[in-house]
């Protein structure tokens, strides 16, 4: 059987910032092979393998999460029953809980359980897109995606729209700014109007939110900036087109908009007897549509994810294993409701 906390620590200790997931993928593949699974590594891009583990039966219920983390890598440490480190709750602790749950289910004689771990969730979901084309996807009835929901079943998740705004200026000596045009000033004006825009709301998902995550531009303080850009992520409560229209109205013709990725908000299946929640974050679920009806549940809190103190308690991990086992049993009896 799986030593849950030890496995979670080992996973956290393997760096796997998005784009550099190969080492942790090989570690997981070797671990699952030793447990007796049929393990397949298949690339989403060169050197970026997903991991699929199955038993002798085609997978009917698949537990899935992601291999990658946000930077920087933070090694594992345990203090007073809490695991700290990058990926502790997003999502290597979850991966360990899913593996432990699968092992318990196998020991109980439950058949048709699979494990799917993908790359690039923190960026553009390249791994999920590749996994969606896998020939075994059509065999699956249920997909349990793991993200930190505090072991509650998510009834819905917000969508996401990622984009970059570009502005252009005319360089000049900063002592004579009237002879140039600052791309940074132009970008700040545009961003101000974007922040003041009125965005859609939804009774289930709440408010649309706009995060300006990166601003860059110019070359030197004594040069009027010739170019600037900002990377934005909008958390959607509606489909993307009306939000794009509002954004374009706020930007007008003052900046170029490059849309990068878009995923709609989702209403998800639930199971009687589980506490529920709505999550504001986006997952790989929109890109895993061929893997059956999706559900979303995992140990840990999203408020600890991506932080300098990312953490998950040993008790949460153990409760996550119990929750996954209980959920699989319920799905095997087809008790899920949408």
Q: Which are the catalytic amino acids?
A: 121
The residues, ordered by sequence, that sit 6+ positions from 167 with a Cβ below 8 Å of its Cβ are 183, 184, 186, 187, 190, 217, 227, 228, 229, 254, 255, 256
Q: What is the CA radius of gyration of the chain?
A: 22
Continuous H helices in the chain: 4-13, 22-34, 92-107, 126-132, 183-196, 240-251, 314-332
For residue 144, give both structure tokens. Answer: 């349990």
- The candidate with the shortest Cα–Cα distance to 85, out of 94, 75, 93, 95, is 75
For residue 271, give both structure tokens. Answer: 């199971």
Give Dmax over CA atoms of the chain in angstroms.
78
Phi, psi of 104 (to 5 degrees): -65, -40
């Amino acid at each position: 059987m799986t030593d849950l906390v030890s496995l979670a620590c080992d996973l956290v200790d393997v760096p796997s910032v998005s784009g550099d997931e190969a080492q942790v993928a090989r570690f997981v593949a070797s671990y699952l092979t030793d447990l007796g699974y049929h393990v397949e590594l298949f690339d989403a891009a060169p050197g970026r393998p997903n991991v699929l583990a199955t038993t002798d039966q085609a997978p009917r219920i698949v537990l899935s999460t992601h291999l990658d983390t946000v930077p920087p890598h933070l090694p594992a440490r345990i203090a007073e029953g809490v695991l700290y480190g990058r990926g502790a709750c997003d999502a290597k602790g979850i991966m360990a809980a899913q593996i432990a749950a699968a092992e318990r289910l196998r020991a109980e004689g439950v058949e048709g359980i699979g494990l799917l771990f993908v790359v690039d969730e923190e960026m553009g979901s390249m791994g999920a897109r590749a996994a969606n084309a896998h020939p075994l996807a059509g065999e699956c009835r249920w997909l349990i995606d793991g993200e930190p929901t505090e072991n509650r079943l998510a009834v819905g998740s917000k969508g996401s729209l990622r984009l970059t705004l570009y502005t252009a200026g005319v360089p000049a000596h900063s002592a004579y700014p009237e002879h140039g045009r600052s791309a940074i000033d132009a970008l700040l004006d545009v961003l101000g109007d974007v922040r003041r825009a009125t965005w859609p709301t939804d009774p289930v998902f709440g408010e649309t939110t706009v995060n300006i995550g990166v601003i860059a531009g110019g070359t030197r303080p004594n040069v009027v900036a010739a170019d600037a850009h900002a990377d934005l992520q909008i958390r959607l409560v509606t489909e993307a087109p009306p939000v794009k229209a509002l954004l374009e109205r706020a930007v007008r013709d003052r900046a170029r908009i490059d849309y990068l990725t878009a995923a709609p908000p989702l209403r998800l299946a639930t199971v009687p007897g589980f506490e529920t929640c709505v999550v504001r974050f986006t997952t790989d679920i929109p890109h895993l549509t061929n893997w059956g009806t999706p559900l979303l549940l995992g140990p840990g809190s999203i408020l600890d994810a991506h932080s300098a103190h990312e953490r998950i308690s040993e008790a949460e991990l153990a409760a996550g294993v119990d929750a996954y086992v209980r959920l699989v049993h319920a799905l095997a009896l087809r008790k899920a409701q949408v």
